[in-house]
Every structure is written in structure tokens, then in C-alpha cells.
Structure 1
């Protein structure tokens, strides 16, 4: 496909800072990346968690502003010049109501802890609350403007700048392709949900319907699940979750859209959005055993969607884009090991 790059280097915690160019022709997993994904230690399968919670979850409701700022300070992936990149924990909202603990609300404390006294950090790009991964911050308004222009130009040219990895319940078929679908945000029983729109008219587009596009590629399969690489070309709320749901392969841990995928006699089908309210994803007993999770632990299973690579413009106009990588959360790595999802 030509748009999938730098995938393997994120696994095992490797990362690249600013000013590092993606090597030409690096289109997938190399031998080193495959070794990094293999289970380490004794080689025995992972055991049950017992009474322990799913590893790597952040409980923001029990943190103070100072404690959250310290968590984010420890999550910094790269700091160079005015740019700061951190690996956002899953479950941390980026914005919220006044008084709520969010990423934006603790930027003053984070800026101070990083020694940025003259210019406070501002948000350039970040994944949503339930998604983990790269957050791009800048303390320079000119740099922020330059990056936003780069992202907007890349979007208009249909060049993806963000690469996500996901674990899906189900294996997409075909294993590689593009997902084109019009989406709209609707209020159903008091809940804002994204729904597909068939054959949208011009009036629909004016009224908020948007044509969306994502690239996808299956990188590994096991236990009826898949490790999938996703690159959105457009930007729409919950776009990747909805795109995978439309493939009848919802993202593992999706408590919003997975309920729209029904099963009868082993065959999956799509249910109308109006007929299914958001609810905890129901996993079959075989998958729960492979994940070594109790039903109560499965109810807390986080969304397995991680923004692991961002492309940024080079220093000079003709320079190749640079890339930033973020390692996977502990629960994501554990799931890959339990399901044997190692790219070949």
C-alpha cells in the first residue's frame, strides 16, 4: 500500500525522537521487530491476573492535578526545542468541563515541571479519551501554526500522518484495503453516537455528514482476533472504531460500538444503531480463557486502540517527514502475548 511504515519499531518500547527520518523502503515488520513482539522470559504462557486489575490502567478520579502532571511528565517520549511529545494513558480525557481533571487542565503544571516558564504548552494533536498514544504539544505559537498547516495540507492531499494499532475481535476480510463511508453524529436516546449514512446527498453533507476514509492492514491473527494497522485520512469522532465495527470486527474493549455487531449461528451481521445502546463488549468464553480474564476483569478491558506513530514535517521544505513513536501500554502488550499476535 505504500502508506504503512515504521510499524515494527514501536514494539518492545523502541522510539525515535525528532529529526530522525524514516528509513526508505521500510514497509513492515523486520526480524528485530518480530523478536521484540515474542513473549520474553521463561516462554510459558501468561497466567491469570487473579484479583489484580488489568495492568496499565490510569484511574484519573483518584489523582490530584499534581499527581496527574507527574504521570504525564513520566510519559514524555521526546522533548526538543518547543515540541514535547508524550504517550497518553488510555482513559485520560483531553478536554472536559470546567473543574474536571483533563490533559488540558494540567498543562500549566506540566509546562512548569519541564522548565518551560516563558511559554506554556499548547495542544497540537492528541487521540481521544479512550485511545492511548502520542500527544503532540508545543510551547511556540509559530511552530504550532506550522504543524497545523502540515496536517491540514496532508489531509487535503490524502496523505496519512497518523498510524494506529488495534486489536480486533474478529479478522477483517480482505486483510488489507480502504474503508470509504459517510458518517454522521446523531443523538440516540440521549447519547451522541456516530452512524453510517448511505448515499449521502449534498444536503446531508451541508448538515454535518462527512465522507471518511481509512487505510487498514491485518498484521497478525490468532484466536479469532487480529492485530490491525490503521491510518485515518480524514478526521471524525470515533472514526476508526466505527470503521472496524462496519467490518464486523470491533476493536477489543469497545464499549460504544461493539454492541452493533450481532451473531447468529456463527455468522456476524450489523444491527441498526437505533436498536442497540452502548454496552460492555461481550467476549466469548474461549477468548476470555485465552486472555486469562474473569468476566469482571473483562468488563474493565480498555479500548485496544493506540496512536503509535506521527509524521511531522522536516526542518526544510524538501526534507522527508520525521516520525515519532510511542510504545504500547502494558495491557496491550499482554493481550498480544496471550493471543499470540506476533507479526510474521
Structure 2
């Protein structure tokens, strides 16, 4: 099976080192040997904020089309086979040429939301893309997770692990598409676009009123993981769309009505701002701390063992973990 490339998500930029190597199990995220990308010049130490409060965050509005192609090409983790609006899709033809694929067109096989960092799976081979899509569909039907995310949450889930099941629908509200939970959906609701969703979660570390959480979606729906964590009263740090649905009275959290709660910038409390060394204006630009860390894939050829692809955390994500004292176990 050829024609497959894996990219580090462009919102958390890192560069490829020559070659691909196997790595041992990564504690805290349940990953085994696979292909792993290490960020160049990475460090575990917190860095001064200076003029860049979120190191490693790529600002797309500051890039030209050619620069974005260079970033994507440098972010290739592994490549099997031959080596208008500024979006990933708009630069795929040029990226294909840059990777030496000739007339072969790249297509997106697996990707997360636009604000999420991590892996993006591309293929230049229609047969490979079809096989991978069937693999993902079959895995979902069998309720076998193929993607593992890590998230920093504002708040700590009530249980250390569990599953979140809820029906969701997409509504256009005041010019914005928002995901709304649906209680006790009817057959008509499902016919009109309501979908049952399911995610597994596990708390990896806790500290400073926040948590490092491993998330594995078993279904596919826009903003599923963000909405699921809001329902746990623990919105993802940097979620400026759905976190407003969590209210607080006398230190107790509760859910506000999703239908009538408009999106607004997430406002961490003063103690959390101090921990993060951020001003309120900087916190308003806090990136979403949701990262596609691992993808499970079938063997590239018949008889080959399954593989796992790993992407390291963006530097701003790692810095947040240090500031909050969230250490992987």
C-alpha cells in the first residue's frame, strides 16, 4: 500500500528529522512502537513569554501560499511511495509537486478540526485512501478507537475515566454553525441530522484545577470532543466557542442552555491566569489545547503488523503543562 503521507498539523509546527524510527511505549498515552516526529530544538523548560505567549503556534494569516507549502512539506512524518483562500485543501496540488509526486493528487484521509494540532493523514493513491477509509469505518463500527487526542481541560472530570455518550446536532445560530446536545432524540430527530456520539476519556494528570486528559472518539462529529468535555463541566483550554456553556455559582459549576448561550472568549480565573503567566488580553488568544497525538493504521502491505503514528505536542502545549504542573505518568 503506497502513496501515503502523514503531516504534523500546521497549527503546531514542527519539522522532520531524517529517517523514521520506532519508539517504545509512550507513558500516559497508551501508545506503542510507531513512527514518531520530534520537534527540532525542543526543550522541556518553560521559556519567557516575551512577545510570543504561545510558542510554536503558527499564524496562518502571516503566511503566503508558498510558505504554507514549505511548512507542510517540512512537517511530513512519514511518506510511503514517491517522494484563493489559504487552506490545506488549496495548497495540496502545490504540496504534491513539492513532494515529487508528479501528477498524483493528494487527498485528505484523516484530519481533525481546524483549530486542533496534531496529525493529518494524506494519500496520493486512491486505492490506499479507499483502504484506509474502510479501515476507519470498520473500526468505528467495531468501536475500536483509531485516534488518540490529548487535551488540557479547565477543570477536572468527576471520574478518572469513562465514556461520554450524547446525541448531537448542528445548528446555524446567528450566522455561526454550533453543535447542540439533544436530550431523548426521536426517530424524526435522527432523520433530520441528529447523531449519536461516543468518546472515551482518561485523566492522565491533575494539577492547578486543570487536567491532562486522553480522549478517544468512537464517532465522528464536528467539535465532538470539545462539546463532550463541556458536558463534563471541564471545557478544553482555549475553547472560545463552547466553554461559555459552563457557568459557576459559589464555586459550583453547572451547564447553561446550549441553545441560548452564545460563543464568547474563554475567560480563565485569576489563579489560572497567574499559573499560565498570561494577561487577560493574551488569554483571549489562547489556542485550543486539543492535540491529535496518535493514529492507529493497518500495515502498509498484507501481512504487515499494524502501525501507530505519533506527533509530539506543540511547544505552547508543553509549556502549559509545565506551568500547571501536569506531568505525564
TM over 0.5: yes
Aligned pairs, number: 308
Distance 1:343 1:307, change over 3 A: same
Instruction: Specify which of 333, 337, 343 is matched with residue 318 of structure 2.
Output: 333
Native 8 Å contact 2:204 2:212 kept in 1 = yes
Q: Distance in 2 between matches of 1:338 and 1:316?
A: 43
Q: Which residue of 1 aligns with 2:52?
A: 52
Native 8 Å contact 1:241 1:257 kept in 2 = yes
Displacement of 1:109 in angstroms is: 1.4
Displacement of 1:318 in angstroms is: 5.7
Native 8 Å contact 2:15 2:75 kept in 1 = no
Deviations 1:156-200 (A, max 9, x none): 111110000000000011110000100011122232110111111
Q: Distance in 2 between matches of 1:197 and 1:213?
A: 14
Displacement of 1:48 in angstroms is: 4.9
Instruction: Specify which of 86, 96, 111 is matched with residue 126 of structure 1.
Output: 111
Q: Which residue of 1 aligns with 2:278?
A: 293
Native 8 Å contact 2:44 2:318 kept in 1 = no
Alpha carbon RMSD of aligned pairs, Å? 2.9
Distance 1:317 1:158, change over 3 A: farther
Q: Distance in 2 between matches of 1:236 and 1:191?
A: 16
Native 8 Å contact 1:183 1:196 kept in 2 = yes
Distance 1:317 1:200, change over 3 A: farther
Q: Distance in 1 between matches of 2:16 and 2:86?
A: 30
Deviations 1:183-231 (A, max 9, x none): 0111222321101111111111111110000000000011000000000
Correspondence 1:54-203 to 2 at 5 A: 54-81=54-81, 99-203=84-188
Gaps of 5+ in 2: 1-13, 33-42
Deviations 1:311-334 (A, max 9, x none): 111245565421111111111011
Q: Distance in 2 between matches of 1:29 and 1:152?
A: 21
Please report the TM-score for the alignment, with normalisation by the length of structure 1.
Answer: 0.82
Displacement of 1:80 in angstroms is: 2.1
Displacement of 1:81 in angstroms is: 1.9
Q: Which residue of 2 aligns with 1:95?
A: none
Gaps of 5+ in 1: 1-11, 31-38, 85-98
Q: Distance in 1 between matches of 2:300 and 2:47?
A: 47
Please report the TM-score for the alignment, with normalisation by the length of structure 2.
Answer: 0.86
Distance 1:29 1:118, change over 3 A: closer
Q: Distance in 2 between matches of 1:13 and 1:72?
A: 9
Distance 1:225 1:68, change over 3 A: same
Q: Which residue of 1 aligns with 2:246?
A: 261
Q: Which residue of 2 aligns with 1:224?
A: 209
Native 8 Å contact 1:18 1:324 kept in 2 = no
Q: Distance in 2 between matches of 1:75 and 1:139?
A: 16
Native 8 Å contact 2:211 2:326 kept in 1 = yes
Deviations 1:51-94 (A, max 9, x none): 33421222212211101101111111111226x9xxxxxxxxxx
Q: Which residue of 1 aligns with 2:200?
A: 215
Deviations 1:263-290 (A, max 9, x none): 0000000000133211100101111111
Q: Which residue of 1 aligns with 2:290?
A: 305
Displacement of 1:253 in angstroms is: 0.1
Q: Distance in 2 between matches of 1:215 and 1:145?
A: 26
